[in-house]
């Protein structure tokens, strides 16, 4: 158990819909990272937040957005969903320097 929690574990929805994925980092970790992993693909970095502020963006679509709240949990919002958005979405957390990331169990999103 990494100490990072993600909810829900599975999510099935339809095209055009909007969903919110939630992540709670390890106690004391200020950084939160979001990744997308499609079937048999590598991990694609989406976005990094540090103590509530956006630090870096990767290949994140405009239909996707994220935020980190004062209690340090983070949410990833995916809107106007397409079939190609079906993937595993991982959240990771780290202490400030990001040297070692601890990953959550992931949320499996299926868009039908």
Partner 1 sequence: LAKTTQPISMDSYEGQEVNITCSHNNIATNDYITWYQQFPSQGPRFIIQGYKTKVTNEVASLFIPADRKSSTLSLPRVSLSDTAVYYCLVGDVGGYQKVTFGTGTKLQVIP
25 binds partner 1 (CB under 8 A): no
102 binds partner 1 (CB under 8 A): yes
In the chain, which ranges are E strands?
5-7, 10-13, 19-24, 31-37, 44-50, 53-57, 64-68, 74-78, 87-94, 102-103, 107-111
The span from the CA of 20 to the CA of 78, in Å, is 6
The span from the CA of 39 to the CA of 91, in Å, is 17
In this chain, which of 42, 53, 70, 83 binds partner 1, going by CB under 8 A? 42
In this chain, which of 36, 66, 104, 109 binds partner 1, going by CB under 8 A? 104
10 binds partner 1 (CB under 8 A): no
For partner 1, which is the closer residue by CB, 8 or 16?
A: 8
12 binds partner 1 (CB under 8 A): no
74 binds partner 1 (CB under 8 A): no
């Amino acid at each position: 158990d990494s100490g990072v929690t993600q909810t829900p574990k599975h999510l099935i929805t339809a095209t055009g819909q909007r969903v919110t994925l939630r992540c709670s980092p390890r106690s004391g970790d200020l950084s939160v990272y979001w990744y997308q992993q499609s079937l048999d693909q590598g991990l694609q970095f989406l976005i990094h937040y540090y103590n509530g502020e956006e630090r870096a963006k990767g290949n994140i679509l405009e239909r996707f957005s994220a935020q980190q709240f004062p209690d340090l949990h983070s949410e990833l919002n995916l809107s106007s969903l397409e079939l190609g958005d079906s993937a595993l979405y991982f959240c990771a957390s780290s202490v400030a320097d990001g040297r070692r990331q601890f990953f959550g169990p992931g949320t499996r999103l299926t868009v039908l």
